[in-house]
Amino acid sequence: MVTIVVIAHRPLASALVTAAQHVYSRDPCAASRQLVGLDVAPDAELGDAVAQANALLQSVDRSQCILILTDLLGATPGNVAARLAQPGRIAVVAGVNMPMLLRALCYCESSLDELVAKALAGGANGLLQLPAFPGASTTPSDGKAPERKR
């Protein structure tokens, strides 16, 4: 099983972890999944954030691989994640979103390489432009949401 770690700008990491736990709250297998998050403060120094991340990773079973999902490449959380990458043991994917995280959780029993591919596909497939609701006004005159026609 692969442990999933979300490292993102505060409060995104904890929000994604909480939302994923909510989605899988009725799943009896969810308790066996390892999912942790690290919120990086806006004023965090890179060295301090790396130390926090390393401390978090110490709590993970050393025999398990780790998939780190981070929000933004080039920002402090992404830089922290990049410093933790270890070929064959710790993989890093940037651009985390809810579909990516949920897909990764569904396949956390896969190999690390397969899990990376599944997470990337889940993230990309979750990006869609939704069509306007049939019969919905695109410019409501009263400022209220359009009512659904039945």
Long-range contact list for 72-80, CB < 8 A, 24+ apart?
A: 72/8, 72/9, 75/9, 76/9, 76/40, 76/44, 76/46, 76/49, 77/7, 77/8, 77/9, 77/13, 77/38, 77/40, 77/49, 79/46, 80/7, 80/38, 80/40, 80/46, 80/49, 80/50, 80/53
pLDDT at 32: 62
Domain ranges of the chain: 3-125
pLDDT at 37: 97
pLDDT at 142: 61
pLDDT at 140: 56
pLDDT at 58: 93
Question: In whole angstroms, what is the distance from residue 40 CA to residue 48 CA?
Answer: 10
Q: pTM of the predicted model, to two decimals?
A: 0.86
pLDDT at 119: 98
Q: Is 127 exposed, middle or buried (0-12, 13-18, 19+ CB in 10 A)?
A: exposed
State the DSSP code for 40.
E
pLDDT at 134: 82
pLDDT at 146: 57
- Report CA Rg, the chain: 18
Domain 3-125 in CATH 3.40.50.510: yes
Q: Which residue stretches of the chain have pLDDT < 70?
A: 28-32, 137-150
Q: Residues 50, 58: contact at Cβ < 8 Å?
A: no
pLDDT at 36: 95
Q: Residues 102, 28: contact at Cβ < 8 Å?
A: no
The amino acid at residue 105 is L
Q: Residues 93, 81: contact at Cβ < 8 Å?
A: no
